[in-house]
C-alpha cells in the first residue's frame, strides 16, 4: 500500500485532514494505495498557491506559455508507458486503451499551445470619425476542473491544457478512484518549466468540491461526471455567480440501417459497447437495427464475435477489455442485468458471474447482450455504464431517429448506412450533440469541440476547441479615440516578439 499525495505549489504534498480513501487495483480486487481526501484548509492552500502564481503566469506572453506546454507534451510522450501502466492499474482499462486516454488528452494540449493565434481579438477601425473598437480575451484567474474516473488523463488535460494556455492557473480535483496519473502529469508540468502553483492537484470528495465552488477566488468550474452531480454543480456554481460547464451521463445509440455493411457495423458495435468495459461516456449502449431482418442478422453477428471476446487483466496483451473500476460498479451493473431480465428483455449473453483465472477477486463483468429491449425499461432509460448492450428493434428509419432524439441523454449517436441521403437527414434532425456516420464513437478531435446535449451537458460552451478557450477567458471590448497630435519620428529598432 502506498500513499497518493496532493500536488500543491510544485510539490507532492501529504494530506493533513486525516480522511483517506482506498484506491483499488480492479484486476486484483484489492486496495493498492490510499488517497487523501482534502478538508477546507487543504483546498484553501491549493487555491492560495494558484492565486499567487496567477500574476506571473498570466503576464507571460502566450507563446512562451505555449512552449512550456509543448515541453510538457514531450515529457508526457517520454513517460507514456509509465503513465499508461499506472492508469491501467488503477482504472482497469487495457494498456493500449490507457495510452489512447493519454493521447487524446495530449492532443488538446498541442492544440492549446496555439493560444497566441486562438486568443486574437477583433478590430474595427473608424466605427465613428476617429474611433476604433477592439476586443481582447483575458484569463479569468484561478479556475477549476472536477473530473471523472473513466478518463483520468484525457479529461484533466482537456480542461487544464486550454485553461493554462489562456493564462489561467488551475486547481484540478480528479476522481479519487484513480488519482495517481493526474499527480504525475502535474509533476511533469513543473519539470517542463511550468511555475509552481500554476497547476495544483487536490484530491477529495464532496467537501473538496463544495469548497472549490464556494471560494470566490475560483472564477470558473469545469465538471465532467454523472448527470445528477453535473446538474448539482452547475446550480451551485450559478448560485455563487460563476460560470460553469458541466457534462453528464449518456445513453448513446447506434442506428443500423438495412443497407449498412453489417459485418462492419457488428465489429464497430463490439468495440464501442465493450471496449473499456463500457465505461466510456461515448460508449454505445443501445443498438437500433432497422427492420426485423437487419436485427436478426446483426444479433447473430454480435453473438459470433462475443464468443471470441477475451476478458482479462488490463496489462495482458490478449485482453480485449479488463475489469470494471470497483466492487460497487460491478454490483450496480449486475443489478441492472437482473432488472433487464425482470423487465422482460431477452438476455442473449449474460456477463454476470464472469471470472478470470488467477484473479478470483477482480471486478469482472462479462460482455452482456439484451435483445427486444423497449423504451419503458430502466435498462433503456438509465445509464448502466458497463459492458451491457441493449438492442431496441425499430420498424423503420423514423422510429430509429426518434429513439435517440427523444431520449433524456444526448451525448453521442451514430448511424451505419451506405445511403448518403439517410445519413444527411439523420445528422440534421437528431437531437444529440456528437454524431458519427459509419463511425461508432464520434469523439471530436482536439480542434473541434466536445459536448453533449440535454441531460448530458449543462452550460452553453463545449470542451476544448475554440469553445474551451472562450469558456476559460473573458472578453474585454475597448473603444478608442485619440485626439490628433504630434507624431513621433521613425523607429529603427526591431520590435521584440517574445
Ligand atoms: P461521478 O459523478 O461519480 O464523479 C465525478 C467527479 O465528481 C469526481 O471527481 C467525484 O469525486 C466528484 N463527486 C462525486 N460525488 C460528488 C458529490 N456528491 N458532490 C461533489 N462532487 C462529487 O462520476 P464518475 O463515476 O467518476 O464518472 C462516470 C460518469 O461520468 C458517467 O456518468 C459518465 O457518463 C460520465 N462522463 C461524462 C462525460 C462527458 O463528457 N459527458 C465524459 C466522461 C464521463
What is the CATH superfamily name and number for domain 2-248+456-478?
Aldehyde Dehydrogenase; Chain A, domain 1 (3.40.605.10)
**Residue 348, pLDDT above cutoff 80:** yes
Other Cβ atoms within 10 Å of 1 Cβ, number? 9
Gap between the Cα atoms of 331 and 63, Å rounded: 49
Gap between the Cα atoms of 257 and 93, Å rounded: 31
Domain limits, the chain = 2-248+456-478, 252-437
Q: Which of 392, 379, 371, 389 is nearest to 342 (CA)?
A: 379
Query: Can you tell me the mean pLDDT for 241-256?
Result: 98
Gap between the Cα atoms of 341 and 187, Å rounded: 48
Backbone angles phi, psi at 431, to 5 degrees: -95, 65
Backbone angles phi, psi at 252, to 5 degrees: -85, 130
Mutate to test the pocket of ligand 1, among 206, 226, 330 (most ligand atoms within 8 A of CB): 226
Which ligand 1 atom minimizes the distance to the CA of 329?
25
Which CATH fold would you assign to the domain 252-437?
Aldehyde Dehydrogenase; Chain A, domain 2 (3.40.309)
**Residue 489, pLDDT above cutoff 80:** no
For residue 462 and ligand 1, the question of a CB distance below 6 A is answered with no
Ligand 1 center to 226 CA (angstroms):
4
Gap between the Cα atoms of 158 and 102, Å rounded: 10
- Enter the ipTM: 0.99
Query: Can you tell me the mean pLDDT for 261-281?
Result: 98
Mutate to test the pocket of ligand 1, among 19, 108, 148 (most ligand atoms within 8 A of CB): 148
For 352-369, the pLDDT digits (tens) are: 999 999 999 999 999 999
- At residue 484 the predicted structure's pLDDT band, cuts being 50, 70 and 90, is confident
Ligand 1 center to 322 CA (angstroms):
20
Q: Cβ neighbours of residue 55 under 8 Å, at least 6 residues apart?
A: none
Say if residues 498 and 61 touch (Cβ distance below 8 Å): yes
Scan for cell 433524456, then name that residue.
408
Gap between the Cα atoms of 230 and 19, Å rounded: 24
Ligand 1 center to 286 CA (angstroms):
21
For 193-231, the pLDDT digits (tens) are: 999 999 999 999 999 999 999 999 999 999 999 999 999
Q: Which of 243, 200, 197, 238 is nearest to 219 (CA)?
A: 243
- At residue 486 the predicted structure's pLDDT band, cuts being 50, 70 and 90, is low
According to the model, what pLDDT value does residue 333 have? 98
Say if residues 357 and 320 touch (Cβ distance below 8 Å): no
Ligand 1 center to 422 CA (angstroms):
35
Which ligand 1 atom minimizes the distance to the CA of 250?
34
Helix axes 80-91, 62-78, angle to 10 degrees: 70
- Identical fold at 2-248+456-478 and 252-437? no
According to the model, what pLDDT value does residue 274 have? 98
Smallest CA separation from ligand 1 atom 28, residue: 225
For 121-179, the pLDDT digits (tens) are: 999 999 999 999 999 999 999 999 999 999 999 999 999 999 999 999 999 999 999 99
pTM of the model: 0.96
Which ligand 1 atom minimizes the distance to the CA of 174?
9
Q: Which of 6, 246, 40, 244 is nearest to 143 (CA)?
A: 244
Residues involved in catalysis: 281
Strands in 341-472 per DSSP E: 346-349, 368-371, 388-391, 409-410, 412-416, 434-437, 453-454, 457-458
- At residue 498 the predicted structure's pLDDT band, cuts being 50, 70 and 90, is low
For 371-425, the pLDDT digits (tens) are: 999 999 999 999 999 999 999 999 999 999 999 999 999 999 999 999 999 999 9
Q: Give, as one character, the DSSP assignment of residue 37.
A: -
Amino acid at each position: 500500500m502506498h500513499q497518493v499525495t496532493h500536488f500543491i505549489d510544485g510539490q507532492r504534498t501529504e494530506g493533513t485532514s486525516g480522511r483517506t480513501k482506498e484506491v483499488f487495483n480492479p484486476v486484483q480486487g484489492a486496495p493498492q494505495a490510499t488517497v487523501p481526501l482534502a478538508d477546507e484548509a487543504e483546498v484553501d492552500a491549493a487555491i492560495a498557491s494558484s492565486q499567487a502564481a496567477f500574476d506571473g503566469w498570466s503576464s507571460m506572453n502566450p507563446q512562451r506559455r505555449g512552449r512550456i506546454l509543448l515541453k510538457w507534451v514531450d515529457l508526457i510522450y517520454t513517460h507514456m508507458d509509465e503513465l499508461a501502466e499506472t492508469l491501467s492499474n488503477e482504472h482497469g482499462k487495457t494498456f493500449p486503451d490507457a495510452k489512447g486516454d493519454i493521447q487524446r488528452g495530449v492532443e488538446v494540449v498541442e492544440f492549446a499551445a496555439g493560444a497566441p493565434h486562438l486568443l486574437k481579438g477583433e478590430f474595427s477601425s473608424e466605427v465613428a470619425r476617429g474611433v476604433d473598437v477592439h476586443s481582447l480575451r483575458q484569463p479569468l484567474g484561478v479556475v477549476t476542473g472536477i473530473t471523472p474516473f473513466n478518463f483520468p488523463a484525457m479529461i484533466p488535460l482537456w480542461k487544464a491544457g486550454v485553461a493554462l494556455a489562456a493564462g489561467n492557473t488551475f486547481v484540478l480535483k480528479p476522481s479519487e478512484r484513480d488519482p495517481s496519473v493526474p499527480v504525475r502529469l502535474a509533476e511533469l508540468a513543473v519539470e517542463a518549466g511550468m511555475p509552481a502553483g500554476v497547476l495544483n492537484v487536490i484530491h477529495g470528495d464532496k467537501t473538496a468540491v463544495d469548497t472549490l465552488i464556494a471560494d470566490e477566488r475560483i472564477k470558473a468550474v469545469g465538471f465532467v461526471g454523472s448527470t445528477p452531480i453535473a446538474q448539482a454543480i452547475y446550480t451551485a456554481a450559478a448560485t455563487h455567480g460563476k460560470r460553469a460547464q458541466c457534462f453528464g451521463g449518456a445513453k448513446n445509440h447506434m442506428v443500423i440501417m438495412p443497407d449498412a455493411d453489417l459485418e462492419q457495423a457488428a465489429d464497430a458495435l463490439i468495440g464501442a459497447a465493450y471496449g473499456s468495459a463500457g465505461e466510456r461516456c461515448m460508449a454505445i449502449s443501445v443498438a437500433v437495427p432497422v427492420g426485423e431482418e437487419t436485427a436478426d442478422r446483426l444479433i447473430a453477428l454480435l453473438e459470433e464475435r462475443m464468443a471470441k471476446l477475451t476478458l482479462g487483466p488490463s496489462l495482458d496483451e490478449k485482453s480485449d477489455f479488463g475489469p470494471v473500476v470497483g466492487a460497487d460498479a460491478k454490483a450496480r451493473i449486475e443489478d441492472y442485468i437482473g432488472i433487464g431480465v425482470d423487465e422482460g428483455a431477452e438476455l442473449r449473453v449474460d456477463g454476470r458471474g464472469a471470472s478470470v483465472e488467477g484473479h478470483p477477486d477482480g471486478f469482472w463483468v462479462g460482455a452482456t447482450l439484451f435483445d427486444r429491449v423497449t423504451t419503458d425499461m430502466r435498462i433503456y432509460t438509465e445509464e448502466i455504464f458497463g459492458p451491457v448492450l441493449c438492442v431496441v428493434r425499430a420498424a423503420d428509419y423514423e422510429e430509429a431517429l426518434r429513439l435517440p432524439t427523444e431520449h433524456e441523454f444526448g451525448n453521442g449517436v451514430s448511424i451505419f448506412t451506405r445511403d448518403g441521403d439517410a445519413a444527411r437527414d439523420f445528422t440534421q434532425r437528431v437531437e444529440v450533440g456528437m454524431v458519427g456516420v459509419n463511425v461508432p464513437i464520434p469523439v471530436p478531435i482536439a480542434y473541434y469541440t466536445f459536448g453533449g446535449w440535454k441531460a448530458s451537458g449543462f452550460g452553453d460552451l463545449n470542451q476544448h476547441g475554440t469553445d474551451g478557450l472562450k469558456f476559460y477567458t473573458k472578453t474585454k471590448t475597448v473603444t478608442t479615440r485619440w485626439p490628433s497630435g504630434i507624431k513621433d519620428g521613425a523607429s529603427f529598432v526591431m520590435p521584440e516578439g517574445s
